[in-house]
Structure 1
């Protein structure tokens, strides 16, 4: 492995998505675009504006995940108040709270990865060796 590629890989943040090649490596933008597309609902695959412009794709993925984070936070904070009225058992409520907490951690990690990929895509000349 060339030293420049190894140096880039060792310098990556732990939040860099493992599905995306390191900036500056062969075909890394393609892996970034594929990863970002996979984060969006399938219906967005038909919008060529997003699929042809990786920076726009990254921006939309950021927005999508931010909205998901907000939705999970609301679900987490309202579970104990709203779920009993819906007839949900206490054990199920506690399990759902744990599920939402885990999901919130995963979404926050995903948001950090999207931010890193977005920053790398926004400065392609700096990301190439």
Structure 2
């Protein structure tokens, strides 16, 4: 399985030979609450391997960061994605590190950074 398989399964554009960051190049029309629900459902499906789940998580985190920028802080979908990240942190350690931005003050970080830092801190306590 691959990004192409994810795209085919979910009805997403696959990109082309010039696509480098498929997740970040998806058009806005695939970054809505409706699509986020599909990504959550797909992620929760045991059909996908670690690479594909990581791509889905990368996409979901990017989308919920955008939601947070638009002040959707109390959205249940945001909580679902963060719970999936926390529950599956072992396969997403690099994403946790990326979104935590440990060396930066919060005012210079993503909107999502405080939530990911909280997950990271909980991971370190375990």
Normalising by structure 1, what TM-score?
Answer: 0.28
Q: Which has the larger radius of gyration?
A: 1
Question: Whose RCO is larger (CA < 8 A, sep 6+)?
Answer: 1
Indicate the structure with greater helix content.
1
